[in-house]
Chain A
Amino acid sequence: MFTISHLDKLIKSSQTPIHLVKSIDDNNRKCFFFVMASKLKIRAMQSIKNGMVNLSEYGVIVASGFGHEVPVETKLMLMEKYGFDADSLK
């Protein structure tokens, strides 16, 4: 059971892709993010080498967590709230 806000509805209905981004944060912890953003913005971020970036400046973060393995609960949440199949990412 998840609460669905107006923003969630917008994200769900949007055709903008959702990407899975993995890295380490500023505390040296592994982390992952599902980010809704245009491919152009994501590639712009990828072009920044060896630096810290604020991911939220590149798109809307729809889910996140620590580690590089995405928990099943997160995948279920993405499907239920946003109709997004995390396993569809290559």
Chain B
Amino acid sequence: MQIVTRTTIEDFKAQIDAALLENVAELFIARVIEMALENNSNKMTEMSLNNIAETLVKRIEDQPKPSEAINQIVTYVRQVLPNTTIKVLGNQTKKELEEMIKIVTDRLEREPAQVEEIAAQVEIIAAPEEEVKETHIQIRTPDEFLFVNYTHLPDEDIERTEDVVLTIGNSVVRAQTFGHRFLLDIDPNKTVLISNITSKSATPEDFQKMINDAGENNAEIVHYFPADRAIVIVDRNSTLADAKGFLNNPTDNLSMALTHFHNARTNAMWAELKAHSNNTQRFIDTSFLTVQEGENRGEQHQKLQA
């Protein structure tokens, strides 16, 4: 794990802001860091280096010029990391980080078709399978956040999706995805409990008990099913019917997640998510180009403030 001190967070923010506005190729890494920092500006922030490395390799595939993107990314990572304090937790070491970066660097000499193979290597370096189950779910205090791995979700369904909403019953959480990773915002006024049942052992009675527990404790219960990499969130308003689909087909967690996030929040939000996802091409033909130029927005800001 990487521990970023408060001073360094400020440095990070400045670099992230610059990267966000100026360099599209660096956007993904900036967004990962941004996620970790956004709600924790006054706190020590932990961020998994593996999160960055995995996201990094994954998102390279989306770049129009992979080699160029990797060059920029590696340069960026190397610029940033020397200024951070790295604390070794579990089996993640600075040496492993260097190995991950080396893998990405080596990618410069390889063909795009080998990206999958490289991604698999990074996965192995990140942590053995058994440890993934334990370390990739990180529940912190209610006003912080948790990371959840969704490594079994097919890419085409969540690719480029920046925000999704997962619900069960009337419980809604906001989630952001970065490749395979979801960041869930949990209601800070509720206690978050995590269950350790497996999908194979889950029964309607288990769900009913969880719903009852949630009601008694005014809690949201996060159920993580390691074998299926599925997450279910239950609160006092959840019903057994909500869990029915999952119980009937526990490996089909994707369909369940999609079913619920289609129903989530408002249509306006969904329309916005779609607009920013992969249904809009960004390659355009300059033969048919028309541009309405905008002006410097300083004046507009002043008008709005007035």
Contact = CB atoms under 8 A, between A and B. Distances in A.
22 contacts: A6-B34, A7-B31, A16-B296, A17-B297, A18-B297, A19-B291, A26-B284, A29-B281, A50-B286, A52-B284, A53-B286, A54-B64, A56-B24, A57-B24, A60-B21, A63-B275, A64-B275, A73-B268, A84-B297, A88-B295, A88-B300, A90-B292
Nearest to B295: A17
A56 B185 CA distance: 29
B266 interface: yes
Contacts of B285: 23-26, 51-52
Interface in B274-306: 275-276, 280-298, 300-301, 304
Interface residues of A, number: 56
Given A6-B34, A7-B20, A89-B292, 13 more contacts: A2-B272, A11-B21, A17-B294, A17-B295, A21-B284, A25-B285, A27-B281, A52-B285, A53-B283, A60-B24, A63-B275, A88-B295, A89-B293
B271 interface: yes
Contacts of A11: 21
B260 interface: no
Interface in B60-105: 64
Contacts of B272: 2-3, 77
Contacts of B268: 1-2, 73
Given A54-B282, A56-B24, A3 B269 contact: yes
B17 interface: yes
Nearest to A28: B285
Contacts of A7: 20, 31, 34
Contacts of B298: 15
Contacts, number: 144
A46 B174 contact: no
A18 B294 CA distance: 5
Nearest to B273: A3
Interface of B: 17, 20-21, 24, 31, 34, 38, 64, 162-163, 174, 265-266, 268-269, 271-272, 275-276, 280-298, 300-301, 304
A42 B291 contact: yes
Contacts of A88: 294-295, 300
Contacts of A52: 283-286
A7 B280 CA distance: 20
Contact of B286 (A5, A27, A48, A66): A48
Given A23-B286, A65-B275, A39 B20 contact: no
A23 B284 contact: yes
Nearest to B162: A5
